[in-house]
Structure 1
Amino acid sequence: MFARGETVIQIMERLAPKHYAEPDDKIGLQVGTLRKEVSKVLVALDVTPEVVAEAAEIGAELIIAHHAVIYRPLAHLQTDTPAGSLAADLLRNDIAVYIAHTNLDSAEGGMNDWMAEALGLEGRNVLREAHTDKLYKLAVFVPESHQAKVRDALFAAGAGWIGNYSHCSFNVAGTGTFMPREGSDPYIGKQGKIESASEIRIETIVPQSVRKAVIAAMLKAHPYEEVAYDLYSMDLKGRSFGLGRVGKLPADESLDEFAERVKRAFDVPFVRVVGEGDKRIRKVAVLGGSGSRFIKNAMFAGADVLVTGDIDYHTAHDAAVAGLALVDPGHNAEKIMKRKVADWLQQHLDDQGYATQAVASRVNTEPFRLK
């Protein structure tokens, strides 16, 4: 059985919730419809004519990309323009396009964590905090016979985390009473008769990012026709998410040695470097995409070097004067997301029993070449 497009995106948004996105970022469904079965998903960094042709060739009904296909407002969709032609190709082949951009950048286990891992950084923290996951307390009343099944479903959906501890819950035994009325189909008892049942009140913590998934999993695992549960917000601070990561190398190395590490990590033929080659590097800030405006964040974090793309001339001078080294592998270094997202999606599609395939694009969308 193939997953419907809506289901694929529900799974994707468990990795990169939409509310993690920066204000006014162009994310979500941009072209086509999700109201269809999807046999293949193509994961791409950019949506170019070559990527659309690749999707059509392999029979993909959905492209999940990092960079928006519609970023600036379109005054028209004339098919003899690049934007219009691209949209026409997508619609002609019935290929939908969904964008996960800064929400994927900020997500735990997303773009910036993948880049930090590729560089071998340890003890990672967020470079610039942008979002703190709101916490909720969930209390649900479950018959004793199903308490383990419901708890397992809650934990599997992402509930029960307190700091570095998982599977956290509090369980209290009690007696529930109810009267099934006309039109009901009770799991326990008969219509018109007051019933009582030995139940367990399960309490656990639910982050906002997985709230919908947790509630859905609880309702599916619960045997009652009508589930009694409470969900209320808490003042406690949840996990922090944001753009960029800061961490340390296992051992210090020269800036020139570190530049070679960056080239290997992101499979790029060259990098631009600001700073003396023998400068010692240990603490590293990394931010996928264009990170010129994060120079001060890297300095405040005590980083020896910032790894990011699209560094402009004047920003490079400012960093040099401030003593912050820079390594620029280019914006296309974010291509690391193609295989990572495809593998993550495939695992979760498989876990849910879907035959849908997630495929990493083979198209190189780097627009620059060296002469």
Structure 2
Amino acid sequence: MPVLAEVISALDALWPRGTAEDWDAVGLVCGDPDTPVDSVLFAVDPVAEVAEEAVRVGARLLVTHHPLYLRGTSSVAADSFKGRVVHDLIRNGVALHVAHTNADRADPGVSDALAGALGLRVVGPLVPDSADPSGRRGLGRVGELERAEPLAAFTARVAAALPATAQGVRAAGDPDRPVRTVAVCGGSGDGLFAQVRAAGVDAYVTADLRHHPASEAAEAAGFAAGGPALVDAAHWATEWPWCEQAAAQLDAVSDRHGWALRTHVSRRVTDPWTIHAPSAPADHDVPTTTPGAPN
């Protein structure tokens, strides 16, 4: 059975900390490097219910994609929800390790997992890492479907492939537009529109698309007659496939070393949105009167 330091060394080889963004907070958050580890849980968010799940399944290490303390802290007191997570993990002998933007840039990384879930054949990164001579690492991925399909059908494909969330999946573009080449970026991706347009893809799948960048991208696509359609899914849902990919990667390492680790993937939906109320169809004008108001 390996100790925590050995497992962390293996994770750092998969997702080198040095490739993380300067503003990021990755690596070991809590845990004794000399503690034996026989079970690992992978999840997107280090929230209380995931920490509780780690304890319940007997994990000795919780690996999450999102940092617990992204902006740093001067206290881990249990009088805050983040401090409570740290206390609960330590009290139950569970370490916490974070792989965030270093997992985004990795080969394979977060966007590879997203592309695989959608049935795309990856042809390369959307934004190559200049430090990678192989040209395989970087942000986002560009892929292609086996055959083209209408945007409406592709949007349904995305919704069926990703875990269900209250938000669901929405798209901007002609429903009948053919989609064959696709750029993907797990997590927030509206900062990569310039690279997506340069890639010349038919559609872009990402999360957290804000009104103004999305509106400008859609208008530019119509003006240039060739920009990508946009497909927007929940942040958590676009990154969750990485958990299964990461668990499989650690399984392979464990098999090579004879560690006999047990890996688990959390299936708890930790997307913060819990309710979705469908509005009226979006293909007609706003009513001239407000419901409930006098005419």
TM-score range, shorter chain: 0.7 to 0.9
Identical-residue share of aligned pairs (%): 37
Q: How far, CA to CA, are the matches of 1:104 and 1:16 in structure 2?
A: 5
1:310 is displaced (CA, Å) by 0.4
Q: How far, CA to CA, are the matches of 1:82 and 1:70 in structure 2?
A: 11
Of residues 277, 289, 294, the one that matches 2:187 is 289
Task: State the SS of the aligned residue for 1:298.
Answer: helix
Aligned to 2:236: 332
Specify which structure has the bigger relative contact order, considering alpha-carbon pairs within 8 angstroms and separated by 6 or more residues.
1
RMSD across aligned C-alpha pairs, in angstroms? 1.6
Q: How far, CA to CA, are the matches of 1:110 and 1:128 in structure 2?
A: 13
Task: State the SS of the aligned residue for 2:129.
Answer: strand
Question: Are the counterparts in 1 of residues 31 and 94 from structure 2 also a CA contact under 8 Å?
Answer: yes
Letter in 2 for 1:319: A
Q: How far, CA to CA, are the matches of 1:25 and 1:131 in structure 2?
A: 19
1:240 is displaced (CA, Å) by 4.2
Pair 1:15–1:73, CA change in 2 (3 A): closer
Q: How far, CA to CA, are the matches of 2:218 and 2:139 in structure 1?
A: 23
Task: State the SS of the aligned residue for 2:137.
Answer: strand
Deviations 1:81-100 (A, max 9, x none): 21222222122222211111
Matching of residues 261-340 of structure 1 within 5 Å: 261-268=157-164, 270-323=168-221, 324-333=228-237, 334-340=239-245
1:353 is displaced (CA, Å) by 0.9
Question: Are the counterparts in 1 of residues 115 and 122 from structure 2 also a CA contact under 8 Å?
Answer: no
1:20 is displaced (CA, Å) by 2.3
Letter in 2 for 1:83: K
Residue 52 of structure 2 corresponds to residue 47 of structure 1: no
Deviations 1:133-175 (A, max 9, x none): 3xxxxxxxxxxxxxxxxxxxxxxxxxxxxxxxxxxxxxxxxxx
Runs of 4+ in 1 over 6 A off after TM superposition: none
Task: State the SS of the aligned residue for 2:251.
Answer: helix
Residue 288 of structure 2 corresponds to residue 345 of structure 1: no
1:71 is displaced (CA, Å) by 0.8
Task: State the SS of the aligned residue for 1:3.
Answer: coil
Task: State the SS of the aligned residue for 1:97.
Answer: strand
Question: Are the counterparts in 1 of residues 234 and 271 from structure 2 also a CA contact under 8 Å?
Answer: no
Aligned to 1:354: 259
Letter in 1 for 2:270: T
Question: Are the counterparts in 1 of residues 64 and 99 from structure 2 also a CA contact under 8 Å?
Answer: yes
Q: Which runs of 5+ in 2 are unaligned?
A: 222-227, 278-295
Question: Are the counterparts in 2 of residues 268 and 329 from structure 1 also a CA contact under 8 Å?
Answer: no
Q: How far, CA to CA, are the matches of 2:129 and 2:22 in structure 1?
A: 10
Letter in 1 for 2:204: L
Residue 140 of structure 2 corresponds to residue 244 of structure 1: yes
Q: How far, CA to CA, are the matches of 1:77 and 1:23 in structure 2?
A: 23
Q: How far, CA to CA, are the matches of 1:131 and 1:114 in structure 2?
A: 22
Aligned to 1:90: 89
Q: How far, CA to CA, are the matches of 1:321 and 1:255 in structure 2?
A: 17
Aligned to 1:258: 154
Letter in 1 for 2:271: E
1:34 is displaced (CA, Å) by 2.4
Deviations 1:273-312 (A, max 9, x none): 1112112212110000000101111001101211000001
Deviations 1:162-194 (A, max 9, x none): xxxxxxxxxxxxxxxxxxxxxxxxxxxxxxxxx
Q: How far, CA to CA, are the matches of 2:175 and 2:62 in structure 1?
A: 41
Question: Are the counterparts in 2 of residues 20 and 131 from structure 1 also a CA contact under 8 Å?
Answer: no
Letter in 2 for 1:42: L
Q: How far, CA to CA, are the matches of 1:122 and 1:335 in structure 2?
A: 19
TM-score by length of 1: 0.69
Deviations 1:31-77 (A, max 9, x none): 22322111211111111111111111122111111000111122433
Question: Are the counterparts in 1 of residues 54 and 62 from structure 2 also a CA contact under 8 Å?
Answer: yes
Q: Which runs of 5+ in 1 are unaligned?
A: 134-236
Deviations 1:197-224 (A, max 9, x none): xxxxxxxxxxxxxxxxxxxxxxxxxxxx
Query: Whose strand fraction is larger, Structure 1's or Structure 2's?
Result: 1
Quick check: which has more Rg, 1 or 2? 1
Q: How far, CA to CA, are the matches of 1:328 and 1:335 in structure 2?
A: 15
